[in-house]
Chain A
Amino acid sequence: MQREVGSLPLAPGLRARLAAAGFQTAQELLETGPCGLSKEIGISKEEALEALQLVRQECHGDAARTAGGLGTTRKFTALELLEEEQAQGFIITFCSALDTMLGGGVQLTKITEICGAPGVGKTQLCMQLAVDVQIPECFGGVAGEAVFIDTEGSFMVDRVVDIAAACVHHCQLIAEAQQEEDHLKALETFSLESILSHIYYFRCRDYIELLAQVYLLPEFLSEHSKVRLVVIDGIAFPFRHDFEDLSLRTRLLNGLAQQLIIIANDHKAAVVLTNQMTTRIGQSQSTLVPALGESWGHAATVRLIFHWDNSQRLATLYKSPSQKEATIPYHITPHGFRDVQPPAVTPNAQGTEMNPRKRPRREEEKQ
């Protein structure tokens, strides 16, 4: 009630007039009433009423905050948070080594960033996650839907069809082995068509479309409340060209990160971003580092770096608030993102992506 007039979210012109008329606190405004206000500062009665309603709403919000009730601020004890986190599901990646390294899988309400050179498997993992988020709860999934924002055009529907078919097959095998009723019931709705219909795809061609789409996301997510995953494939691509003013870029990126954190928390969704690598030219040598600069490194909660070691793909957990730094190998098979098979078993068919840096795999020809 003692809130200063200057801090209220009114139009700047109105605020200036109120200050000129001598009003200092919100309490004074409410006491004056709409008619008195309109006479004193020279605005219409309707405008005065609108302004007062806004002030009342703000003060009500403030009061709720100070009383410690529910509302826009979140106040929890650590115990409540612990219970919430333990009840929350993870989005599995079908690569058990990666899931273990991440502590169960991709966490909801957190931003995970995947960096890597081209061809290493970032988009493959994103497509895998868009399918895995839809796994029904009885199979260990979160039964959610996915939003896929594509800035690079690397989303291939046929590939998603392959991955989804393999996932459905996997669940069918589990259901057959365990023969429980709710498994079979869930399988009725978990089909290829339903998986594909619940991946919402947006193709953004430049950074303005991306910004616009992220502004509209909260509304979209309120309409589609089952969405549990938002993937932005290629957050670096639209920001890496045509930007003479780097400070504008930093500002826009920071704003984007803030909005994504709010979205992740409000809608209990996991946000997954993919980033490119750039060359940092040092004194004696140059290294590959994630693109978009140092300040972008603070945006993501969890950072994974995918890279090559001769012909093996590796994933390194570079930044995480709860898990240890580690590196694990992974494989990309026709069925999607998988573990590396142990050497005793015959290895799966070669990955669907060719990397010209790879030495030719002569041992595969024996099969």
Chain B
Amino acid sequence: MAAKKLRRAQLSQQLCERLNRCQITTCQDFLCLSLVELMKVTGQSYYEVQKLLCKVSRACAPKMQTAYEMKLSKSVNPSSAFLSTTLHSLDRVLHGGVPCGSLTEITSPPGCGKTQFCIMLSVLATLPVSMGGLDGSVIYIDTESAFSAERLIEIAGNKFPTYFDSDEKLFCMTRNIHLYRELTCCSVLKRIMSLEEEIISKKVKLIIIDSVASVVRKEFDTKLQGNLAERSNFLTRGASMLKYLAEEFSIPVILTNQITTLLSNGPAIQADLVSPADDLSLSE
């Protein structure tokens, strides 16, 4: 939306050419200037410039929806609002399961079962809707090389023995899980940015990133100057792209995180609090 060219915002050709000469081509450039600067650049009066601002804003602004319309559109297809985890008490606490259309974060100390949980959810997502699944593919971005295809088949075969009764069905399921091994922050971000087309072409219904913390902690040492800002920049860019994908396609996105120690100011004999590793910005 921000990169929309001004000529598509229904400004006159003449005005667009004039603005082009000052290097103002997109709506973003236009809206970042103050009114006085705009008057100088467009050569028009104050009130004219205000009208132009409204015109360009209309080209970028989001559409309005009332909360009632949102509720109606959700209730049209209630089963697609959650991915049930098949753990009944967890589903009850989550009001149905992992929600579609938003980001879910799974955090724990090492060895508690995050990757196992992710592998199980991948199996569940490929199941047909009648069995509680999402009937689609899965994109699994693995940064720790912890994904084991054998374990995947073991889980599928043992959890749903009647459905996966033949090897054929198992392999069909594994073909639907697309695994990407990314080992640096840069490649993770590039992969996230390229996901939009893959989701449409492969009919993806679940995105898993396991884990965000390992790449971030490897590359950014917060004690060094400037690293905190860069890390936060990377995390918010990734998070906003993932949120956009989750909302646009109404699919669940699962991220795993690690544990760090939040050192309190008190004496060392007190138990230290543990908190999720990443900067606060990711969990917003």
Interface set of A (CB-CB < 8 Å, partner B):
9-14, 54, 117-119, 130, 148, 152-154, 157-158, 160-161, 193, 195-209, 211-213, 215-216, 219-220, 234, 237-238, 240-242, 248, 251-252, 255, 276-279, 281, 285, 354, 356-357
- Other-chain residue from A160, A202, A208 in contact with B1 (beta carbon distance below 8 A): A208
A196/B66 in contact, CB under 8 A: yes
A242/B237 in contact, CB under 8 A: yes
Does B221 lie at the interface of the complex (its beta carbon under 8 Å from any beta carbon of A)? no
A276/B276 in contact, CB under 8 A: no
B2/A196 in contact, CB under 8 A: no
A206/B240 in contact, CB under 8 A: yes
Contacts of A215 in B (CB 8 A): 31, 53-54, 57, 61
Closest to A354 in B: B93
- Other-chain residue from B47, B54, B71, B240 in contact with A205 (beta carbon distance below 8 A): B240
A54/B45 in contact, CB under 8 A: yes
Does B28 lie at the interface of the complex (its beta carbon under 8 Å from any beta carbon of A)? yes
Q: List 26 A-B contacts (CB under 8 A).
A: A10-B45, A10-B46, A11-B44, A130-B67, A148-B67, A154-B284, A160-B67, A196-B67, A201-B66, A202-B61, A203-B62, A203-B247, A207-B2, A208-B31, A209-B2, A211-B32, A211-B57, A212-B58, A212-B59, A248-B32, A277-B280, A279-B228, A281-B228, A285-B265, A356-B276, A357-B275
Does B232 lie at the interface of the complex (its beta carbon under 8 Å from any beta carbon of A)? yes
- Other-chain residue from A157, A199, A202, A241 in contact with B233 (beta carbon distance below 8 A): A241
- Other-chain residue from A12, A130, A213, A248 in contact with B57 (beta carbon distance below 8 A): A213
Does B92 lie at the interface of the complex (its beta carbon under 8 Å from any beta carbon of A)? no
Closest 4 CB pairs of A and B: A9-B46, A208-B2, A196-B68, A212-B57
Contact with A along B68-102 (1 / 0, CB 8 A): 10110010000000000000000001010000001
Contacts of A203 in B (CB 8 A): 62, 247
B31/A212 in contact, CB under 8 A: yes
B62/A157 in contact, CB under 8 A: no
Contacts of A240 in B (CB 8 A): 232-233, 236, 281
Does B191 lie at the interface of the complex (its beta carbon under 8 Å from any beta carbon of A)? no
Contacts of A354 in B (CB 8 A): 93
Q: How far is the CA of A201 from the CA of B2 in the complex (A)?
A: 20
- Interface size on B, as a range, is 35 or more
Quick one: given A118-B284, A234-B284, are A241 and B1 in contact (CB under 8 Å)? no
- Other-chain residue from A9, A130, A204 in contact with B47 (beta carbon distance below 8 A): A9
Contacts A158-B71, A195-B67, A215-B61 known; 13 new A-B pairs at CB < 8 A:
A9-B46, A13-B43, A118-B284, A152-B243, A200-B64, A205-B240, A206-B240, A209-B60, A212-B56, A213-B62, A240-B236, A281-B228, A356-B107
Quick one: given A206-B2, A209-B60, A237-B236, are A12 and B40 in contact (CB under 8 Å)? yes
Contacts of A161 in B (CB 8 A): 71
Q: Which residues of chain B from 194 to 211 have a CB within 8 Å of any chain A CB?
A: none
Contacts of A197 in B (CB 8 A): 66-68
B284/A11 in contact, CB under 8 A: no
A260 to chain B, nearest CB (A): 15
Does B34 lie at the interface of the complex (its beta carbon under 8 Å from any beta carbon of A)? yes
Closest to B283 in A: A118
A205/B273 in contact, CB under 8 A: no
B74/A157 in contact, CB under 8 A: yes
Contacts of A242 in B (CB 8 A): 233, 237
Contacts of A208 in B (CB 8 A): 1-2, 27-28, 31, 60
Q: How far is the CA of A153 from the CA of B57 in the complex (A)?
A: 21
Contacts of A207 in B (CB 8 A): 2
Q: Which residues of chain B from 7 to 60 have a CB within 8 Å of any chain A CB?
A: 27-28, 31-32, 34, 39-40, 43-48, 53-54, 56-60
Contacts of B74 in A (CB 8 A): 157-158
Does B65 lie at the interface of the complex (its beta carbon under 8 Å from any beta carbon of A)? yes
Q: How far is the CA of A200 from the CA of B228 in the complex (A)?
A: 36
A204/B27 in contact, CB under 8 A: no
Q: How far is the CA of A9 from the CA of B240 in the complex (A)?
A: 40
Closest to B60 in A: A212
B102/A241 in contact, CB under 8 A: no
A359 to chain B, nearest CB (A): 9
